[in-house]
């Protein structure tokens, strides 16, 4: 690492060097030696406290691999077997009939519905004081799975909450006590812990901040849940964990092999998600062999990647979302390995880009279809276009044609009749919906109250101005966009993606209920009353 290479990496994080702003820690190790170690921005904007190497970050889903190791250490001790049915340990939290193994939970192939999606349906918000018991209660009420175990991969935070519960019951210790005794203390991770109470103080902990327009706002996080999340650590501490994944100290090689082994699904294919960690997905990092996990809670963002053939480790922890960490990792790899191109690579032009564009066509509602559908609302005030979001309206900067930049993310919107979105390196085709396209006579067949026993809440479907809306006492009222016969999408709760709502009918053709689904939760049944 020479000065020119370091300066190039510095430039990746220019958004974290713009006055008093949030930022992060970046740590790079090559062939066992630290070659880049920098801190940017502020841990507290109010108190103007800079981020240092001692600053502790909530690292969200990067926590999962540590939870899995706690379970595997108990497996190594022969206190449990990861191929056991989870009913043998947590029968009181299981209401579904299919057998699910501990290994299924580790590999995200259990079919257990995601706790955050379920809590969101109930009206629980990300900034509520959410406890571990809240998560366990909503998991325990589920009588159906997303799918039969091992039939497919679907990411679910509930898997790791249940793993934490199993580890605690078998060991007789809290997850933090177990992890401290078996992992953190032996590896010298003195600034690392699981935060297991939302009121718990964490010394030197960074606050998280979102950008709304030209100002930063608090992105509040009151989690008391753990296992799937809530590991608090530094890049320096976590590099000691990464070293253990290279040369195991706290476990034997067989245990590490179990952690990094991806499951074979019932159709014969192999998932790329192993024990709380993603392994060798060919669509990532230009096909280089790797294992990694990232995380996102409130405005905290984290990623920890190991490139096995290059013996290269990259860890980035941040208290804001203004830098795409996936893109940053790719750029750092190119710089470190010296595979940068001497000329700038032309930016990819997607199929929905139009060089000629009338800005008058920009305003409106845009949406995508599929399991992880989302809705984008673009409004105009004066000559300025905005994208509406959870924390307010964010301005869009016109680049060229129908392409607009959302400055708070590494994201572009392509507006008008030919519409789409670039989010980091990925492109999504969007459709523009015209207002007032509902049919009141048909809409009235859906109106009424819908109740779910699994999530213990109700929604009302109502009509206004020829449009359908879905309403909840905590989640508010949201427009429903029809995407197929009896199928709609709507923004519900504090969630990037939409709820898919599929109405069900009886033999007489009358609407009898509906099924709510997201990318991590399938077919939660509501009955019309």
| Average confidence (pLDDT) over 441-461 | 93
34-337: which CATH topology?
A: Beta-lactamase (3.40.710)
SS3 179: helix
pLDDT at residue 498, rounded to an integer? 87
Task: Calculate the average pLDDT of the chain.
Answer: 92
pLDDT digits (tens, 9 = 90+) for 124-140: 988 899 999 999 999 99
SS3 502: strand
pLDDT at residue 440, rounded to an integer? 66
pLDDT digits (tens, 9 = 90+) for 33-74: 999 999 999 999 999 999 999 999 999 999 999 999 999 999
Q: Report the length, in residues, of the chain.
A: 529
Torsion of CA 225, 229, 232, 235, to 10 degrees: 180
Q: What is the pTM of this model?
A: 0.93
Domain ranges of the chain: 34-337, 359-433, 440-528
| Average confidence (pLDDT) over 335-355 | 72
pLDDT at residue 54, rounded to an integer? 98
Q: What share of the chain is helix, strand, coil (3-state, %, to 5)?
A: 25, 35, 45
Do the Cβ atoms of 195 and 179 come closer than 8 Å?
no
SS3 204: coil
| Average confidence (pLDDT) over 155-164 | 98
Residue 442: in which H helix or E strand, if any?
helix 440-443
Estimate the crossing angle of helix 158-171 against helix 115-122, to 10 degrees. Answer: 110
Closest CA to 317 of 335, 333, 299, 331: 299
Whether 24 shows a pLDDT value over 90: the answer reads yes
Integer Cα distance of 70 and 221 in angstroms:
25
Estimate the crossing angle of helix 325-337 against helix 3-12, to 10 degrees. Answer: 170
| Domain 359-433 identical in fold to domain 440-528 | yes
- Two tokens at 96? 């579904």
Estimate the crossing angle of helix 158-171 against helix 64-76, to 10 degrees. Answer: 40
Integer Cα distance of 444 and 455 in angstroms:
25
pLDDT at residue 343, rounded to an integer? 39
Torsion of CA 23, 29, 30, 36, to 10 degrees: 50
Estimate the crossing angle of helix 132-140 against helix 115-122, to 10 degrees. Answer: 90
| Average confidence (pLDDT) over 287-299 | 94
pLDDT at residue 506, rounded to an integer? 95
3-state secondary structure 292-329: EEEEEECCEEEEEEEECCCCEEEEEEECCCCCCHHHHH
pLDDT at residue 390, rounded to an integer? 73
Whether 107 shows a pLDDT value over 80: the answer reads yes
Would you state the CATH architecture of domain 359-433? Beta Barrel (2.40)
pLDDT at residue 344, rounded to an integer? 40
pLDDT at residue 388, rounded to an integer? 83
440-528: which CATH topology?
A: Lipocalin (2.40.128)
Burial of 426 (0-12, 13-18, 19+ CB in 10 A): exposed
User: Which range has the worst mean pLDDT, 16-20, 173-177, 390-394, 509-513?
Assistant: 390-394
Integer Cα distance of 457 and 448 in angstroms:
14
* Percentage of the residues of the chain whose pLDDT score is greater than 90: 78
For residues 75 and 349, the model is more confident at 75
| Average confidence (pLDDT) over 347-352 | 79
**Confidence bin at 494 (pLDDT 50/70/90):** low
Burial of 218 (0-12, 13-18, 19+ CB in 10 A): middle
């Amino acid at each position: 690492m020479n000065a020119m290479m370091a300066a190039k990496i510095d430039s990746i994080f220019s958004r974290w060097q713009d006055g008093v702003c949030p930022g992060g820690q970046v740590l790079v190790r090559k062939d066992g030696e630290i070659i880049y170690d920098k801190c940017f921005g502020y841990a507290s904007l109010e108190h103007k406290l800079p981020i240092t190497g001692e600053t502790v970050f909530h690292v969200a889903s990067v926590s999962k691999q540590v939870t899995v190791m706690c379970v595997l250490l108990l497996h190594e001790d022969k206190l449990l077997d990861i191929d056991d049915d989870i009913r043998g340990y947590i029968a009181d939290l299981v209401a579904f009939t299919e057998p699910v193994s501990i290994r299924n939970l580790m590999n995200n192939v259990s079919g257990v519905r995601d706790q955050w999606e379920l809590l969101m349906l109930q009206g629980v918000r990300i900034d509520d004081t959410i406890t571990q018991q809240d998560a366990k209660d909503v998991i325990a009420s589920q009588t159906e799975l997303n799918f039969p175990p091992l039939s497919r991969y679907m990411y679910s935070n509930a898997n790791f909450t249940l793993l934490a519960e199993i580890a605690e019951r078998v060991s007789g210790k809290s997850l933090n006590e177990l992890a401290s005794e078996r992992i953190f203390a032996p590896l010298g991770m003195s600034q690392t812990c699981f935060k297991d109470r939302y009121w718990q103080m964490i010394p030197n902990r960074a606050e998280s901040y979102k950008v709304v327009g030209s100002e930063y706002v608090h992105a509040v996080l009151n989690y008391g849940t753990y296992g799937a999340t809530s590991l608090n650590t530094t890049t320096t501490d976590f590099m000691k964990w990464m070293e253990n994944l290279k040369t195991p100290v706290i476990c034997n090689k067989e245990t590490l092999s179990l952690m990094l082994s991806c499951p074979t699904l019932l159709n014969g294919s192999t998932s790329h998600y192993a024990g709380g960690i993603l392994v060798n997905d060919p669509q990532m990092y230009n096909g280089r062999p790797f294992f990694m996990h990232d995380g996102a809670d409130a405005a905290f963002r984290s990623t920890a990647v190991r490139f096995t053939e290059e013996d290269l480790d990259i860890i980035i922890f941040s208290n804001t979302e203004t830098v795409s960490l996936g893109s940053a990792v790719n750029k750092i790899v190119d710089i470190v390995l010296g595979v940068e191109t001497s000329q700038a690579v032309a930016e990819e032009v997607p199929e929905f880009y139009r060089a000629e564009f009338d800005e008058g066509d920009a305003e409106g509602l845009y949406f995508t279809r599929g399991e992880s559908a989302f809705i984008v609302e673009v409004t105009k005030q004066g000559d300025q276009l905005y994208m509406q979001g959870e924390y307010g309206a964010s301005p869009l900067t016109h680049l060229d044609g129908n392409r607009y930049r959302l400055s708070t993310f590494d994201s572009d919107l392509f507006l008008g009749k030919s519409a789409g979105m670039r989010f980091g390196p990925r492109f999504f085709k969007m459709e523009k919906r015209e207002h007032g396209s509902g049919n009141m006579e048909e809409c009235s067949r859906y109106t009424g109250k819908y109740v779910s026993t699994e999530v213990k809440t109700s929604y009302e479907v109502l009509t206004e101005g020829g449009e359908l809306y879905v309403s909840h006492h905590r989640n508010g009222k949201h427009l429903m966009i029809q995407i197929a016969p009896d199928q709609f999408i709507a923004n519900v709760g504090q969630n990037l993606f939409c709820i898919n709502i599929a109405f069900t009918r009886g033999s007489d053709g009358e609407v009898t209920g509906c099924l709510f689904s997201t990318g991590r939760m399938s077919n939660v049944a509501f009955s019309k009353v």
